Amino acid sequence: METTGLDRIRESFRALMTECSPQIPEADYPLIRQAMDQGLQTVGDAQWENGEYILHHSISVGRIAVLELGLSTDSLIACLLHNVFDKSEHPFSAADIKKDYRAGVSEILDGITKINSLNTENIAVQSENFRRLMMALSGDVRVILIKIADQLQDMRNLEKLPPALQQRISIDSWHLYAPLAHRLGLYKINSELLDLSLKYLHPEEFRLIVEKLQETTVERANFVSAFVKPIEKKLKSRGFDFEMKARTKSIYSIWNKMKKQEVDFHEVYDLFAIRVILHSKPENEKAECWQVFSVVTEEYLSNPERLRDWITFPKSNGYESLHTTVLGPDKKWVEVQIRTRRMDDVAENGLAAHWRYKEGKAGGKELDDWLKNIREILENPQLSPADFIEDFKVNIYDDEIFVFTPKGDLIKLRAGATLLDFAYEIHSHIGDHCVGGKVNGKLVTLKYRLKNGDQPLVETSNSQKPKLDWLDFVVTTKAKSRIKASLNEEQKHEAENGKEILRRKFKNWKIELNDQVIRDLLKHYKLKLATELYFQISVGKIDPLGIKEVIKVQEEESSKERLSEILAPSELKELTFDSGDDYLVIDNDLKNVIYKLAACCNPIFGDDIFGFVTIREGIKIHRVSCPNAKQMIDRYPYRLIKAKWRSTDKRNSFQATVRVAGSDRNGMVNDLTNIIGKEVGVKMRSININSENGSFEGILRVFVNDTHHLDFLMQKLKNIKGVDSVTRSDV
């Protein structure tokens, strides 16, 4: 008789029940069978595009959830129904699920449905998905565990899908699900997800590492045998109950190390780790681990920089182990991991082991504390999703440090945390007002990086507030999110001020400030939000006068009108304009303190000039031919003022610089000074002559009455024997 698709699904379900029977109470069997029957009635033997039966996939996810993650009845039922309930055309509601099964099943399915509705086709959306996915996690950890199981099952069957879909699912695994698995202590699943992702995202590099591992299998086995023999002998002689095994690094770990260290396969020195697993009684675990450490380091030289004690201070996800790196045979470094059977179970299976050892309590205090921290971070609506995913990925892969509060409480922080991170960990208000403090009795700054065992004491000031540069040195997500939230409040206040400044300016200009004008300004300044425009106006990054140029006011503005927008009325009264107010009139006696002659071009009476309004030094008068004129016209056209000299017969002195060059001879300097002082009647400020190889160059700084006086001097200098060129210099 031919086997149908439904037959194969039922056979798979029976195998699932047999395998999961140790973890599932017998009293729950009828509910689980009811869920399977409901799936068969709704979906039957329908298949995905890759030919896999939908219910067969659901059964496989349930197997992972129970056997590899340690979940139980409600989660298994949710696994069996999640592809049924998720369909928009499903004939039953959340209320039906709650009525037919349990409230827990309905809650899990609701969370899974929300996550499944997210689109992860590009990285920007993916980052937001990550945050929303984390929010689901902070409600019920079983939701994310089932999603990890679902993703793992997809990855295990990825070869049946088209390449484009393989890439997208692999990217999700790489960026979302593998980091989550790692953070929850699911190291085996994390490694498998990363290895499979690497297989499809970097297939050639994956294949190369697999081939190299196969080629070196015998070599590694021989090395391991030589390494473990003396240790096994000593441990047995001292009565330890233990087992030893070698664990080769995951393909992803090898690939990652090759990339980071820029080495090839043969230069990765720690391709595997030796694991010593003790069968210890709970009360003897720590002591026996340290005794084994002593035996290992008696036999092989250890590297003290590579000692990791996660027995005294377990990781946040519950990981416990003692790691050391020793110099083995052939001068090769080998990592040795020492742990008990319970610790190994927790290390391999994460939450599944937590539930086994904590009598079903979901993950213990460590996980509860972590979820609480995630909720605090997610409460900040200004937090950038891209920042969140980056901080989260960094935090979960880094080591941790342990410091003590003044009361002796233990605080766990990410390695590299500063005094300011510690302050924010205590309370956000303390972090906002932190000005420094003491560590182990010594004064330190906000930037001080804490070390294991430090005892920090924070000092605060009510006048202190978060600053933008704080983000350059804090490392914890909690500190970063709080600082950004505070800065956003400050930015909001500045934006309100900038908006009012702009409104007043437009009112003075008698121009309507409408949405189209704002859109034009955003486009010109390459900004996305109006609040950014207002903020930059408030802090002075955008000059309101520049805005007037951008909106292209049609009427020509007189010099007096332009200056009235810049100067105070009292300063404006001290200035003189021509009859039409078009030009600022410059007196040649320069007694007016509002304007000064620019040192970059030294204008003199008779030069074509313009005024430039500076931020702090009033009005500077420049020659039209000033070398800086083009830059000022291009960048600050709204600060340029038309200007001209007042007609007068009164003589005053203006400094000018003249460059002279020619053939050197005896008496040249004397001839130059005679012309300047006697024949032309010019007062000399300085003279600098350089002579070399029969030629000379000179710089003469003189005081003249006007441009005609300067031209007369230059002509006289040109007539001197041996002088080849005479030019006016800007400085």
Residue 39's pLDDT is what?
87
**Burial of 393: CB neighbours in 10 Å, binned 0-12, 13-18, 19+:** middle
Q: Which residues contact 153 (CB under 8 A, 6 or more apart)?
A: 57, 60, 61, 64
Do 292 and 321 meet the contact criterion of CB atoms below 8 Å apart?
Answer: no
Of 729, 717, 657, 724, which is closest to residue 696 (Cα–Cα)? 724
Q: Report in angstroms the alpha-carbon separations of 154 from 56, 166, 248, 265, 675.
A: 12, 10, 25, 29, 95
Residue 237's pLDDT is what?
93
Look up residue 66 and give its two tokens. Answer: 């129970």
Determine the Cα–Cα distance for residues 293 and 289; give it in Å rounded to an integer: 6
Third-level CATH fold of 211-349: Beta Polymerase; domain 2 (3.30.460)
The size of the chain, in residues, is 731
Q: Which residues contact 314 (CB under 8 A, 6 or more apart)?
A: 320, 366
Do 57 and 49 meet the contact criterion of CB atoms below 8 Å apart?
Answer: no
Global pTM value: 0.51
- Sequence-ordered strand ranges (E) for 237-290: 242-248, 272-278
- Alpha carbon 692 to its chain's center: 59
Which residues of the chain are in CATH 3.10.20.30 domains?
Answer: 365-472
Do 535 and 498 meet the contact criterion of CB atoms below 8 Å apart?
Answer: yes
The CATH code belonging to domain 654-729 is: 3.30.70.260
Residue 405's pLDDT is what?
84
Residue 340 pairs with which residues in a beta bridge? 278
Look up residue 33 and give its two tokens. Answer: 């069978």
Third-level CATH fold of 5-186: Hypothetical protein af1432 (1.10.3210)
Question: 263 in helix, strand or coil?
Answer: coil
Q: Which residues contact 453 (CB under 8 A, 6 or more apart)?
A: 402, 403, 404
Using the structure block, give the residue that is written with the tokens 């000018």: 656
Q: What is the dihedral of CA 491, 497, 499, 501, to 10 degrees?
A: -140
Q: Which residues contact 657 (CB under 8 A, 6 or more apart)?
A: 602, 699, 700, 701, 702, 728, 729, 730, 731
Q: Which amino acid is at 97?
A: I
Look up residue 234 and give its two tokens. Answer: 């000593």
Do 454 and 404 meet the contact criterion of CB atoms below 8 Å apart?
Answer: yes
Third-level CATH fold of 365-472: Ubiquitin-like (UB roll) (3.10.20)
**Burial of 80: CB neighbours in 10 Å, binned 0-12, 13-18, 19+:** buried
Q: Which amino acid is at 289?
A: C
Q: Which residues of the chain have pLDDT under 70?
A: 1-2, 85-94, 114-140, 269-270, 316-317, 350-399, 552-558, 565-566, 579-581, 588-593, 651, 679, 731
Residue 678's pLDDT is what?
76
Question: 527 in helix, strand or coil?
Answer: coil
Of 94, 188, 119, which is closest to residue 148 (Cα–Cα)? 188
349 C-beta neighbours (distance < 10 Å), count = 21
Q: Which amino acid is at 495?
A: A
- Alpha carbon 725 to its chain's center: 60
Determine the Cα–Cα distance for residues 549 and 557; give it in Å rounded to an integer: 11
Task: Give, as one character, the DSSP assignment of residue 114.
Answer: H
**Burial of 304: CB neighbours in 10 Å, binned 0-12, 13-18, 19+:** exposed
Residue 400 pairs with which residues in a beta bridge? 414
Determine the Cα–Cα distance for residues 494 and 530; give it in Å rounded to an integer: 12
What's the alpha-carbon Rg for the chain, to the nearest Å?
39
Q: How many CA atoms lie within 13 A of 539 on its CB side?
A: 12
Q: Report in angstroms the alpha-carbon separations of 269 from 91, 325, 682.
A: 58, 11, 83
Q: What is the 3-state secondary structure (H, E, C) of 660-690?
A: EEEECCCCHHHHHHHHHHHHCCCEEEEEEEE
Angle, alpha carbons 29-31-36 (nearest 5°): 95
For 365-380, b/e burial (b = at least 16 CB within 10 A) is ebbeebbebbeebbeb
Do 371 and 88 meet the contact criterion of CB atoms below 8 Å apart?
Answer: no
Q: Report in angstroms the alpha-carbon separations of 702 from 351, 608, 631, 670, 682.
A: 87, 20, 28, 16, 7
535 C-beta neighbours (distance < 10 Å), count = 23
Do 482 and 380 meet the contact criterion of CB atoms below 8 Å apart?
Answer: yes
Q: Report in angstroms the alpha-carbon separations of 283 from 279, 308, 419.
A: 12, 21, 36
Task: Give, as one character, the DSSP assignment of residue 122.
Answer: S
For 147-171, b/e burial (b = at least 16 CB within 10 A) is bbbbbbbbbeebeebeeeebebbbb
Which residues of the chain are in CATH 3.30.70.260 domains?
Answer: 654-729
Determine the Cα–Cα distance for residues 608 and 586; give it in Å rounded to an integer: 12
- Sequence-ordered strand ranges (E) for 598-637: 609-613, 619-623
Longest dimension (CA), the chain: 129
For 246-267, b/e burial (b = at least 16 CB within 10 A) is beebbbbbbbebbeeeeeebee
Which residues of the chain are in CATH 3.30.460.10 domains?
Answer: 211-349
